[in-house]
């Protein structure tokens, strides 16, 4: 029976569910660059170049294998649905097979494809993940609070990853988080990354992206993402060999002019299918078994992929579609213009935003404790800040972006999985970076013109959200400090916050 297998741009894995029983003699594999996907938000130019180029390489390789490929370049079709209809008309398949998409919006669309084409559509589970939806539902059932740590332990036990033979976690602890928070020494060097100069295909895509999506955020001059399976494996190998040994210690650190430090830079590659999360975790575990990397590095990294990545996906599919509509802290301020330009005197913010513009990348602590923390403290509307995160990173897809922003960074879900908002004053950023030494603001000053805005916005946030947060067990302590503050000091905080927010947001 002739089957049409539709593979999306973030499913570029030769073993993706929809291709597992591919009959190269009879079937046709379809891929499509479509206007709707490229513009439903105005993705960073690097994200589109990365994905279109990776798609073109992936489908060309399938064709080299002798598979019949129908690949539509951008311009041919507006949407997945129109591309699919055209492919059905040309190839007249008896059946369509797809892998479930990463986003709710696309799943809803997919569910109409049978009616649209008149051909039965089989939607297969995406088995690239360690856990499926049922696993997470079972985990969540009956729990008042969802915590990553417990899901992570379940997956460790089930997979045997970093487990002793007697069923105990290696090293005796489940989690070495407390050994992942060193600040950087005064002098340190970050090794060079492998280079992936744009080949002919990537160059062509770069031109068309400038031409068609020239008004999108971001620059292309520093584009250095691998766009093939071979390139992705080279990047993984370089990470494990050169960066992973130091990753554990400095996972939460930040430094001026150092956009990537010792991080993996693998999320766009994993999310698009060029690397499988299972092989990435295996490579890291093997490096630890060989004695090449310390346990705090291996566990710290594996916790991110086996723990956070799986857990975040679970939350997304458990809670969607209502999840994105909550606004627990009633945050309404518009996104300040400097999120697009980087033009702000706050050095931590300008560093994070400018590197995001140039590399479509910022690491976790920059996303959470700099741009995310600022949005939380300033009360930026969830819709606006979520769209920003979905636009600006090469790894951004709603399934992973939304819980990270809505739940973790801005607490708009009211604490579905975070026990308290990740709110922090300038002292945290000062401890974890050298940004403050290079900033026009003074991190030790609490209010007034020279004061670090994170300082007064922190207390202002607690005052603005007192009704909601005072009863939170983990925040309650901080309110006791606030209770001891003089009225004059509180007034000065409110005044500084009002003037600052008025200037940057207009409210
Ligand atoms: P490393 O620091 O080397 O970490 C290793 C891997 O762990 C990552 O590649 C990623 O696959 C996984 N990982 C780590 N933390 C998380 C997490 N919280 N959720 C899911 N996976 C995680 N990640 C995305 O892939 N797409 C997003 O759109 C995204 N948006 C985020 C928004 C906010 C506000 C925050 C706080 C985090 C977000 N993350 C997102 C998670 C994390 O910041 C990125 O995965 C990470 O920075 C990618 O860089 P890396 O590969 O160098 O990661
Ligand atoms: C992100 C993206 C972009 C920019 N363009 C395409 C595209 O043209 N064709 C495609 O198949 N996929 C694209 N993607 C990825 C999809 O948006 C992604 O598959 C869905 O969001 C589901 O995760
Ligand atoms: Fe950021 Fe405040 Fe430090 Fe400046 S002083 S870098 S605004 S935390």
- Whether 447 and 492 have beta carbons less than 8 Å apart is answered as yes
343 is written with which tokens? 């033009």
% of the chain surpassing 70 pLDDT? 100
- Whether 214 and 285 have beta carbons less than 8 Å apart is answered as no
What residues have CB less than 8 Å from 9, skipping those under 6 apart? 31, 33, 37, 51, 52, 54, 55, 272
Question: For 324, which DSSP code?
Answer: G
Check pocket membership of 54 for ligand 2, CB cut-off 6 A. no
Query: Which residues on adjacent β-strands are paired with residue 376?
Result: none
Distance from C-alpha of 367 to C-alpha of 362, rounded to nearest angstrom: 6
Nearest to 416 by CA among 426, 406, 425, 424: 406
pLDDT for 507 beyond 80: no
| Mutation to probe ligand 3, out of 430, 444, 504 (largest number of atoms < 8 A from CB) | 430
> 306-323 pLDDT, tens per residue?
999 999 999 999 999 999
Provide the pLDDT confidence category of residue 302 given band limits of 50, 70 and 90: very high
For residues 204-220, average pLDDT: 98
307 is written with which tokens? 């723990």
Mean pLDDT of all residues belonging to the chain: 96
Architecture per CATH, 338-505: Orthogonal Bundle (1.10)
Q: Write the DSSP string, 125-178.
A: --TTSSS-HHHHHHHHTT-SS--HHHHHHHHHHHH-TTB-TTSSBGGG-S--GG
- Please name the residue whose Cα sits nearest to atom 10 of ligand 2: 9
Distance from C-alpha of 225 to C-alpha of 232, rounded to nearest angstrom: 8
Expressed in angstroms and rounded, the spacing between residue 112 Cα and the centre of ligand 2 is 18
What residues have CB less than 8 Å from 253, skipping those under 6 apart? 182, 183, 184, 261, 365, 432, 433
Check pocket membership of 347 for ligand 1, CB cut-off 6 A. no
- Whether 452 and 427 have beta carbons less than 8 Å apart is answered as no
Provide the pLDDT confidence category of residue 152 given band limits of 50, 70 and 90: very high
Q: Write the DSSP string, 364-413.
A: HHIIIIIIIHHHHHHTB-HHHHHHHHHHH-TT--HHHHHIIIIIIIT-TT
Expressed in angstroms and rounded, the spacing between residue 7 Cα and the centre of ligand 3 is 44
Expressed in angstroms and rounded, the spacing between residue 290 Cα and the centre of ligand 3 is 41
Q: Write the DSSP string, 261-278.
A: TT----HHHHHHTSS-HH
For residues 371-397, average pLDDT: 98
Q: Quick one: residue 85, left, alpha or beta (phi over 0 = left, psi -120 to 50 = alpha)? A: alpha
Check pocket membership of 43 for ligand 1, CB cut-off 6 A. no
- Whether 96 and 4 have beta carbons less than 8 Å apart is answered as yes
Phi (first) and psi of residue 2, to 5 degrees: -75, 125
Provide the pLDDT confidence category of residue 463 given band limits of 50, 70 and 90: very high
- DSSP, collapsed to helix, strand or coil, labels residue 15 as coil
Q: Given this structure, which CATH class describes domain 3-124?
A: alpha beta
Nearest to 178 by CA among 249, 247, 244, 243: 249
Q: Please report where in the chains the tokens 């996906």 appear, as a residue.
A: 313
- Please name the residue whose Cα sits nearest to atom 6 of ligand 3: 436
| Mutation to probe ligand 3, out of 183, 336, 439 (largest number of atoms < 8 A from CB) | 439
Check pocket membership of 401 for ligand 2, CB cut-off 6 A. no
User: Quick one: which ligand is closest to 457's CA?
Assistant: 3
318 is written with which tokens? 């458990």
CA 470-475-476 angle, to 5 degrees, is 55
Max distance between CA atoms of the chain, in angstroms, equals 79
Distance from C-alpha of 422 to C-alpha of 431, rounded to nearest angstrom: 16
Number of H helices, E strands in the chain: 25, 5
386 is written with which tokens? 């979520």
Domain parsing of the chain, residue ranges: 3-124, 133-218+228-319, 338-505
- Please name the residue whose Cα sits nearest to atom 7 of ligand 2: 33
- Whether 27 and 2 have beta carbons less than 8 Å apart is answered as yes
Q: Please report where in the chains the tokens 């002793």 appear, as a residue.
A: 164
> 177-205 pLDDT, tens per residue?
888 789 899 889 999 999 999 999 999 99
- DSSP, collapsed to helix, strand or coil, labels residue 29 as strand
- Please name the residue whose Cα sits nearest to atom 7 of ligand 3: 346
- DSSP, collapsed to helix, strand or coil, labels residue 9 as coil
Note the pLDDT of residue 180. Answer: 79
- Whether 74 and 52 have beta carbons less than 8 Å apart is answered as yes
- Please name the residue whose Cα sits nearest to atom 4 of ligand 2: 38
pLDDT for 369 beyond 90: yes
Expressed in angstroms and rounded, the spacing between residue 55 Cα and the centre of ligand 2 is 10
Q: Which atom of ligand 3 is nearest to the CA of 347?
A: 6
Check pocket membership of 405 for ligand 1, CB cut-off 6 A. yes
Note the pLDDT of residue 449. Answer: 92
What residues have CB less than 8 Å from 303, skipping those under 6 apart? 152, 175, 177
What residues have CB less than 8 Å from 351, skipping those under 6 apart? 254, 256, 257, 366, 370, 435
Q: Within 10 A of 494 (CB to CB), how many other CB atoms are there?
A: 16
Measuring from each residue's beta carbon to the nearest atom of ligand 3, which residues come in under 6 Å? Answer: 346-348, 426, 429-430, 435-436, 439, 441, 443, 452-454
pLDDT for 70 beyond 90: yes
Check pocket membership of 38 for ligand 2, CB cut-off 6 A. yes
For residues 218-223, average pLDDT: 98
Architecture per CATH, 133-218+228-319: Alpha Horseshoe (1.25)
Q: Which atom of ligand 2 is nearest to the CA of 8?
A: 11
Check pocket membership of 385 for ligand 1, CB cut-off 6 A. no
């Amino acid at each position: 029976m002739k089957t049409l297998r539709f593979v999306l741009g973030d499913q570029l894995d030769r073993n993706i569910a929809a291709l597992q029983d591919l009959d190269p003699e009879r079937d046709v594999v379809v891929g499509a660059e479509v206007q709707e996907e490229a513009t439903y938000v105005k993705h960073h130019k690097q994200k589109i170049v990365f994905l279109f180029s990776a798609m073109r390489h992936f489908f060309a390789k399938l064709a080299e294998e002798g598979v019949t490929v129908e690949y539509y370049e951008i311009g041919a079709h507006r949407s997945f649905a129109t591309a699919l209809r055209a492919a059905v008309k040309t190839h007249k398949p008896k059946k369509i097979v797809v892998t479930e998409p990463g986003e709710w919006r696309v799943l809803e669309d997919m569910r109409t494809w049978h009616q649209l084409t008149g051909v039965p559509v089989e939607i297969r589970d995406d088995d690239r993940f360690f856990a499926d939806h049922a696993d997470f539902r079972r985990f969540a059932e009956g729990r008042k609070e969802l915590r990553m740590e417990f899901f992570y332990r379940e997956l460790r036990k089930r997979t045997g990853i970093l487990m002793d033979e007697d069923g105990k976690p290696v090293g005796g602890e489940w989690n070495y988080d407390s050994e992942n928070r060193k600040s950087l020494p005064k002098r340190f060097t970050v090794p060079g990354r492998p280079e992936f100069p744009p080949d002919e295909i990537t160059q062509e895509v770069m031109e068309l992206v400038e031409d068609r999506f020239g008004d999108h955020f971001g620059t292309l001059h520093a584009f250095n993402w691998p766009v093939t399976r071979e390139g992705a494996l080279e990047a993984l190998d370089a990470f494990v060999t050169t960066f992973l040994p130091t990753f554990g210690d400095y996972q939460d650190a930040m430094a001026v002019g150092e956009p990537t430090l010792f991080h993996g830079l693998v999320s766009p590659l994993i999310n698009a299918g060029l690397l499988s999360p299972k092989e990435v975790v295996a490579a890291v575990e093997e490096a630890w078994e060989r004695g090449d990397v310390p346990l705090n590095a291996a566990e710290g990294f594996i916790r991110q992929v086996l723990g956070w990545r799986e857990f975040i996906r679970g939350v997304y599919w458990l809670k969607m579609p209502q999840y994105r509509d909550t606004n627990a802290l009633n945050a309404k301020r518009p996104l300040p213009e400097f999120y697009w330009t980087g033009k702000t005197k706050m050095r931590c913010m300008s560093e994070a935003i400018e590197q995001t513009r140039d590399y479509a990348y910022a690491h976790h602590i920059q996303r959470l404790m700099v741009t995310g923390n600022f949005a939380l403290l300033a009360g930026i509307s969830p819709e606006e800040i979520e769209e920003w995160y979905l636009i600006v990173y090469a790894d951004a897809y709603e399934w992973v972006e939304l819980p990270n922003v809505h739940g973790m960074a801005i607490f708009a879900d009211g604490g579905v999985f975070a026990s308290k908002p990740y709110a922090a004053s300038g002292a945290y950023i000062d401890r974890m970076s050298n940004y403050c030494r290079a900033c026009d603001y003074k991190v030790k000053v609490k209010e007034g013109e020279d004061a670090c805005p994170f300082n007064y916005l922190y207390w202002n946030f607690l005052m603005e959200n007192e009704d909601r947060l005072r009863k939170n067990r983990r925040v309650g302590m901080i309110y006791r400090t606030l209770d001891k503050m003089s009225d004059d000091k509180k007034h000065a905080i409110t005044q500084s916050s009002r003037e600052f927010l008025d200037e940057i947001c207009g409210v």
